[in-house]
Amino acid sequence: MERRTFLYGAGGYAVLLALGGTVKVLDGNGEASDALRPPGGQDEDRFRSLCIRCDKCRTVCPEDCVSVSSIEDGLLNARLPRLDFHQGKCTFCDLCIEACPTGALEAFDPASDKIGIAVVDPDRCIAYVSGSCDRCDVCEYDAIVFDEMKRPSVVEEKCNGCGACTEACTANVFLSFDGDRRRAIEVVRA
């Protein structure tokens, strides 16, 4: 092998390696975002292609549950709206959808559409540990049920991901999963 051929090959390999690293940095963990989007933004590819990061959905939210992704989520995700139920629950008031200038947030029906589905983490749930908590009994969709020992579980068919249980929970035990990927992801970041 000639020296010139070797150098061209090594240079090409270095460029491809750098390009792969750049994509990973730009896209965070290299996977689809696990952020819960405001109502109507559940089609992640469509949402990401239309959202211009104008922040209007966050500023009109009366519950303060819309926040923005940070740079740690990747440069492509930075400043994209996400839901944070520490501040409040989603009341499906549609103000964020009406404020969206690009149509990135589509019409959303809380009776049939889902932001996510809550899942109880029994290792952190006070009711599972001591049996003395009922703070999550706030679901207006009757998606939280209790067993004979007063431990909560979620009825997937009824849960639409409004975040009322997460907002009420003092132990941050509610998780959510994306219905398409069926992969557990944290709604709240402790």
- What are the two backbone dihedrals, phi and then psi, of residue 156, each rounded to the nearest 5 degrees? -55, -40
Q: What is the pLDDT of residue 91?
A: 96
Task: Give CA angle at 64 (59, 67), nearest 5°.
Answer: 70
What was the pLDDT predicted at 73?
Answer: 82
Cα separation of 173 and 9, whole Å? 51
Task: Give me the domains of the chain, ranges plus CATH numbers.
Answer: 31-112 (3.30.70.20), 114-190 (3.30.70.20)
Give the three-class secondary structure for 187.
Answer: coil
Confidence at residue 143, expressed as pLDDT on a 0 to 100 scale: 92
65: its two tokens: 């549950």
Give the pairing type, strands 174-178 and 152-154.
unpaired
Give the residues across from 119 on adjacent strands.
175
Alpha-carbon distance 39 to 115, whole Å?
Answer: 6
pLDDT of residue 106: 95
Global confidence as pTM: 0.73
Residues 6+ apart with CB under 8 A from 21: none
- Spell out the per-residue pLDDT of the chain, length 190, in tens: 787 777 676 666 666 556 555 544 445 444 456 789 999 999 999 999 999 999 999 999 999 999 999 888 888 889 999 999 888 999 999 999 999 999 999 999 999 999 988 888 888 899 988 877 888 889 999 999 999 988 999 999 999 999 999 899 888 777 655 444 333 333 333 3
Q: For residue 170, give both structure tokens.
A: 């003092």
